Amino acid sequence: MARIIPFKAFRPPRKMVHLVASRSFVSYSRSGLNHKLSTNPYSFINIINPEFGSKKRTKPNTVNRFKQVKKKFQEFIDQGIFKQDDSDSFYIYRQNYLGKSYTGIIAGASIDDYENGTIKKHEHTILKREVVFKNYLEMTDMNAEPVLMTYPDSNSVKIVIDKYLSQTPEYDFMSANSASHEFWKIDDSADISLITEAFNGFDALYIADGHHRCASSNLLGHELRRKNPNHTGTEKYNYLMSFLIPESQLNILEFNRVVEDLNNLTDDEYLEKLNDFFIVQKLNVSNFKPKSYNQIGMYLSGCWYALDAKIGTFDQNHPVERLDVSILSQNLLEPILGIKDLRTDKRVQFIGGRNEDNILTKLIDRGKMKVGFVLHPVTLDQLKNVADMHQYMPPKSTYIEPKIRSGLAIYKISD
């Protein structure tokens, strides 16, 4: 049984939402971030970077920095850039991007469901990062970037959503990447009950994106429970802000890899070692993507290769080891290129999602990296199987869309 709740979001006025809502802070380059901060004082990014332009700055990820974030958020409230809704509500968010449409519900999801396994995960989290973000949530008292979760397609939920999609949205705007964003508020008690009951019927929700945010909210919730002698279980800290979309709309893309050297091997020596694990085929093509699972695309010295994993070099029955990301790591990156930990090895970089600009080949052709690998995307069934078996994928296994804008709806933790 999955438990979700409505909440009173802090939201920007309709006339300002296109200025306020922003991409996730980590998605900006340094130059892009500086441009956004210097040209748009209303962007949510200004809250995350409260000392932009100031000569005296606090250290990142410290209590003092988080206090400045909270102060900046309060300034936005005082200026009317954010206003809190009067009643607990669910929120529908629809994004259209590059021909795909994503429609889901913004709601609070239970941290108890995270603890008991109703909310299922497929990635390891790092405790240090969990604690940093837990401290951020506690000090700022807000959550502005929901965890993306997916639920089984439900006609009951769809009927309620479709009712609102036929109405004029609260928000309707375009962002610089040509994505359209629409937003509706559900505050009718009957519709809230219908959605809540529908989710009560789901055996599981699957985290698609935001494992560290989920874990951090869980850490904070349990800490605040211990500190509150009057804890009832209804407090907002018992839930974390989530964006819930049906499984049929989740778009899983690959996370490709580029490596800066061949571990002191020549091209010929390296290609010879590949034969132990792969059937190697040189291709006469200008671009290549794997046609099937257990096939990896490789770009080396201006040429494309297809690497087909040899039977017997990986466990076909193991939910993680049979994934192409695992085959690449266990049969090539580690034994041949000496990359033992993808999280810490600085020789490897990741290129997630769409690669329309051919970033991978450009990095190699310009000599910045030596070899690149293109993977077949993980399927939803593979993701769910890993989570159901309580296993974990290697780092950067999936690049998942949609990417919801920050600052559309803010969840006040103590409210």
Residue 213's pLDDT band, with cuts at 50, 70 and 90, is: very high
Range(s) of the chain covered by CATH 3.30.1760: 255-376
pLDDT at 53: 84
Question: From residue 67, how far is each of 56, 58, 240, 371, 413 by CA, in Å?
Answer: 15, 10, 21, 44, 15
Residue 357 has pLDDT above 90, yes or no: no
* 80-85: average pLDDT: 98
Model-level pTM?
0.94
Q: pLDDT of 246-285, one tens digit each?
A: 999 999 999 999 999 999 999 999 999 999 999 999 999 9
Residue 291's pLDDT band, with cuts at 50, 70 and 90, is: confident
Mean of all residue pLDDT scores within the chain: 95
pLDDT at 262: 98
Residue 181 has pLDDT above 80, yes or no: yes
Q: pLDDT of 5-27, one tens digit each?
A: 999 999 999 999 999 999 988 88
pLDDT at 355: 65
Residue 356 has pLDDT above 70, yes or no: no
Percent of the chain clearing pLDDT 70 (strictly above): 99
Residue 292 has pLDDT above 80, yes or no: yes
Q: pLDDT of 105-153, one tens digit each?
A: 999 999 999 999 999 999 999 999 999 999 999 999 999 999 999 999 9
pLDDT at 61: 93
Look at 49-58, 253-262, 300-309 and tell me which has the smallest mean pLDDT: 49-58
Range 255-376 classified under CATH 3.30.1760: yes
* 313-342: average pLDDT: 96
Residue 327 has pLDDT above 80, yes or no: yes
Q: pLDDT of 232-245, one tens digit each?
A: 999 999 999 999 99
pLDDT at 415: 74
Q: What is the 3-state secondary structure (H, E, C) of the chain?
A: CCCEECECCEECCHHHHHHHCECCHHHCCHHHHHHHHHHCCCCCHHHHCCCCCCCCCCCCCCHHHHHHHHHHHHHHHHCCCCEECCCCEEEEEEEEECCEEEEEEEEEEEHHHHHHCCEECCECCCHHHHHHHHHHHHHHCEECCCEEEEECCCHHHHHHHHHHHCCCCCEEEECCCCCEEEEEEECCHHHHHHHHHHHHCCCCEEEEECHHHHHHHHHHHHHHHHHCCCCCCCCHHHEEEEEEEEHHHCEEECEEEEECCCCCCCHHHHHHHHCCCEEEEEECCCCCCCCCCCEEEEEECCEEEEEEECCCCCCCCCCCCCCHHHHHHHHHHCCCCCCCCCCCCCCEEEEECCCCCCHHHHHHHCCCCCEEEECCCCCHHHHHHHHHCCCCECCCCCEEECCCCECCCEEECCC
